[in-house]
Structure 1
Amino acid sequence: MTQRASDDATTSTDGGVRTAVDAFRRGEPVLIHDFDDREGETDIVYPAGAVTPTAVSHLRNDAGGLVCAALSDAVADAVGLPFLDDALDHPSAGDHDLRYDSRSSFSLPVNHRDTFTGITDEDRALTITKLAEAATAVDAEAVEYGSDEFAAEFRSPGHVNLLRGAPELLADRRGHTELGLALAAEADLPAAVVVCEMLDDESGRALSPADARAYADRRGFVYLEGQQLVDELA
């Protein structure tokens, strides 16, 4: 894994959910390992509203997986976001053969309409922060924000892959989508987070939990096991 310094964290901690919640409220990333009998991956997770171009660069260089934005089921439903496999009319869609889950949480990939190509760090950061604003607008009772408003701001296809959280989060599903959204909910943040898998440059596989924890220690990030979030927040 590429080792790149990051200025995103201010504390060096390992472990507690309360510590992770505090870090999330400060806009800092948290490392979450899901479960060895699931994906067995550690994701770097950011609150979407805190994502900057530097954060996107951090995810590209120090994680290396797919940069995705996860939205709660309520937000996705309010703006009419489908599961991607339901939106595709192709024989490859709909017949899930996942070893770790019953279905994918992927929804549409989007760009904000103010982006150019959509792929640069600046463009992806803009799309992601605007998604956090959309999630906030959906939650605000005085603001009417639905599919038409979403379509006026975002276009699909794009370069930020959206994930749709399960309705009851960790009570329904225990993927990084739900783990990150549960952390955001506990921190009283908008129902929008960014997740990116950490990969090992040498093996090409998921970074081991031990190496992810060591990375968190070096960078001053909080590292959590998914079970800790389930035990406290489910």
Structure 2
Amino acid sequence: MSFSTIGDALDAFKRGEFVVVVDDADRENEGDLIIAADAIDEQKMAFMIRHTSGVICAPMTDERADFLELPLMVSNNTESMRTAFTVSVDLMDGVTTGISAGDRSATVSALADFSYEAGDFARPGHIFPLRARLGGVLKRAGHTEAAVDLCQMAGRSEVGVLCEIVKDDGSMARLPDLQKFALENDLCFISIADLIRFRRRNEKLIEHFAEARIPTRYGEFTAHAYRSVLDGVEHVAYVLGDLEDAESALVRVHSECLTGDLLGSLRCDCGSQLDEAIRLIGSEGVGVVVYLRGHEGRGIG
């Protein structure tokens, strides 16, 4: 299967073009037609309706959804992928029934326009806003998050437009069909998996926010505190010695285990492993303990 590069897809998105985005075969195994909401017009909306299921969705950040006062559609989401649908909307002024291509393009354009507020939209309507998870595809590998990621990475509005591509008989288009559709319509064709890899390679996902000296019985370490930009979880790197001048250095990556590390639980050897790692680094005079917080390492302590 031949996919476009993420760079090419971002260039297309910047130009206001559609991109075909496919997810994994073990997930929904579908492809969505995605475009930035601030690039949509009546002609593009008509194209989207003609080649998709017609259920036009508008993925957006939580901040935008909160500003527009768009609560979740249901309090108990039992949809298979937990897609975060909000109440549906139509633009109140300048539209008729809300269902035409022109009306729907006007509604999604307004959702992306910060001059519009909550009171400018009728509820329910014919456009289905979606709330994207903070962190995008790195937190949830869904089309909702892919759309918002593409918008943000391309420097467009933080609202996208998407719908599932279908075949002429109404059945869902799968990988071979999607590739053919993209080629026939000269559209970029990417996978969510490639978008995840691109973001991991090109983005700084942690920030350094503090450091302190920690004297221990094995030597004086410097603690460097980092915060994940995805979920806010804080991790610590304990450094001994000068890493730049060292030919090699011992490194221990340790998953937080409260009961083992702090209480010395006999149900695991986490605490003893951590202590031994610090002892060995102390004997070498240089090394790092990377302490990953936010989860029990093996769940047995």
**TM score, norm. by length of structure 2:** 0.63
Q: Is the 8 A contact 1:65 1:199 kept in 2?
A: no
Alpha-carbon separation, structure 1, partners of 2:83 and 2:53: 20
Q: Is residue 85 of structure 2 the alignment partner of residue 96 of structure 1?
A: no
Alpha-carbon separation, structure 1, partners of 2:50 and 2:67: 34
Q: Is residue 109 of structure 2 the alignment partner of residue 151 of structure 1?
A: no
Question: 3-state SS of the aligned residue for 2:111?
Answer: helix
Q: Which amino acid aligns with 2:125?
A: G
Deviations 1:54-112 (A, max 9, x none): 111101112234111111122112333221112xxxxxxx15152xx3x2210111011
Question: Match of 1:131?
Answer: 111
CA distance 1:106–1:95, change in 2 (3 Å): closer
Q: Is residue 75 of structure 2 the alignment partner of residue 105 of structure 1?
A: no
Give the 5 Å matches for 1:24-43.
24-43=13-32
Return the offset for 1:14: 4.8
Question: Match of 1:3?
Answer: none
Greater gyration radius: 2
Return the offset for 1:39: 0.8
**TM score, norm. by length of structure 1:** 0.80
Return the offset for 1:154: 0.8
CA distance 1:170–1:79, change in 2 (3 Å): same
Return the offset for 1:225: 1.1
* More strand, by proportion: 2
Return the offset for 1:21: 0.5
Question: 3-state SS of the aligned residue for 1:106?
Answer: coil
Q: Which amino acid aligns with 1:105?
A: A
Question: 3-state SS of the aligned residue for 2:86?
Answer: strand
Q: Is the 8 A contact 2:137 2:192 kept in 1?
A: no
How many correspondences in the alignment? 198
Give the root-mean-square deviation of aligned CA atoms. 1.7
Q: Is the 8 A contact 1:40 1:206 kept in 2?
A: no
- Residue ranges of structure 1 left out of the alignment (5+ in a row): 1-12, 87-93, 138-148
Q: Which amino acid aligns with 1:160?
A: I
* More helix, by proportion: 1
Alpha-carbon separation, structure 2, partners of 1:19 and 1:95: 35
